[in-house]
A and B are shown apart, each in its own frame.
Chain A
Amino acid sequence: MAERIIELRDISKSYGQVYALGGVNLSVDRGEVVGLIGDNGAGKSTLIKILSGVVKPTSGEILIRGKAVTGWSAARSREAGIETVFQDRALAVQQTIVRNIFMGRELTGFLGWLKVNKEIEEASRLMREIGFTSKVFTPQSIVGQLSGGERQGVAIARAIYKQAELIILDEPTTALSLTETAKVFHFVRQVRASGRSILFIGHNIHHVFDIADRFVMLDRGKVALTADRSEVKSAEDLINFMEDVAHPGGLAGLHDTGDAERAVR
Chain B
Amino acid sequence: MSKTMEPDLHEPSTAIPRPQKEWKHPSDQWLRGFILDNRASLGTLGVFIVMMAVFMIANPTVFTTWYLYSSVLTTLPVALFVVVPLVFVVTCGEIDLSFPATMGFASWVFALVVQAGYDPFLGIAAALVTGILLGFLVGSLVVYGGLSSLIATLGMNFLLRGLIQIINEGKSMALTNLADSWAYKIFSSQVYGIPVQIFWAVAFVVLSAMLYNRHRFGAQVRVVGDNPDSAQQMGIDVKRVRVKVFVFVGIGAAIAGTFSVMINFTWWPTAGDGYLLPVLASVFVGGTPTWGGIGTVVGGAIGAVTVSFIQTGVVAAGLSGFYVQFFNGLIIILSLLGHKWNQARYR
Contact = CB atoms under 8 A, between A and B. Distances in A.
Given A74-B235, A93-B227, A138-B27, A112 B215 contact: yes
Interface stretch (B128-136, B138-146, B216-224, B280-288): B216-224
Contact of A92 (B214, B231, B235, B345): B231
A182 interface: no
Interface residues of B, number: 34
B227 A91 contact: yes
Contacts of A76: 235
B341 to A, nearest CB: 17
Contacts of A84: 233
Contacts of B229: 90
Interface stretch (B1-9, B38-46, B49-57, B119-127): B1-9
Interface in A88-118: 90-95, 99, 102-106, 108, 112-114, 116
Contact of A147 (B4, B220, B226, B346): B4
A52 B223 CA distance: 19
Interface in B10-57: 23, 25, 27
A216 B192 CA distance: 77
A142 B344 CA distance: 11
A116 B220 CA distance: 14
A90 B233 contact: yes
A145 B5 contact: no
A95 B25 contact: no
A74 B215 contact: no
A116 B214 contact: yes
Given A108-B216, A138-B27, A143-B346, A91 B230 contact: yes
A74 B229 CA distance: 12
A148 B216 contact: no
A138 B27 CA distance: 9
A148 B3 CA distance: 9
A255 interface: no
Given A74-B235, A93-B227, A93-B347, A140 B4 contact: no
Contacts of B2: 93, 144, 148, 151
Nearest to A77: B235
Interface of A is mostly: loop
Interface string B255-296: 000000000000000000000000000000000000001100
A146 B2 CA distance: 10
A158 B344 CA distance: 25
A138 B25 CA distance: 8
Contacts of B25: 135-138
A209 interface: no
Contact of B5 (A52, A91, A148): A148
A177 to B, nearest CB: 7
Interface string B179-222: 00000000000000000000000000000001000111101101
Nearest to B226: A92
A104 B222 contact: no
Interface string A151-178: 1000000100000000000000001010
A84 B230 CA distance: 11
Contacts of A52: 233
B346 A144 contact: yes
A40 B128 CA distance: 54
A136 B19 CA distance: 11
B234 A74 contact: yes
Give the size range of A's interface with the partner.
35 or more
Contacts of B220: 104, 106
Contacts of A74: 232-235
A73 interface: yes
Contacts of A78: 234-235
A68 interface: no
Contacts of B332: none
A17 to B, nearest CB: 23
Contacts of B216: 106, 108, 112-114
A94 B291 CA distance: 11
Contacts of B7: 177
B233 A54 contact: yes
Contacts of A145: 4, 346
Contact of A99 (B215, B219, B232, B345): B219
B140 to A, nearest CB: 20
Contacts of A140: 27
A93 B223 CA distance: 9
Given A99-B222, A145-B346, 20 more contacts: A52-B233, A75-B235, A78-B234, A90-B227, A90-B230, A90-B233, A90-B234, A92-B227, A93-B346, A104-B231, A106-B216, A112-B215, A112-B216, A138-B25, A144-B344, A144-B346, A147-B4, A151-B5, A158-B234, A177-B7
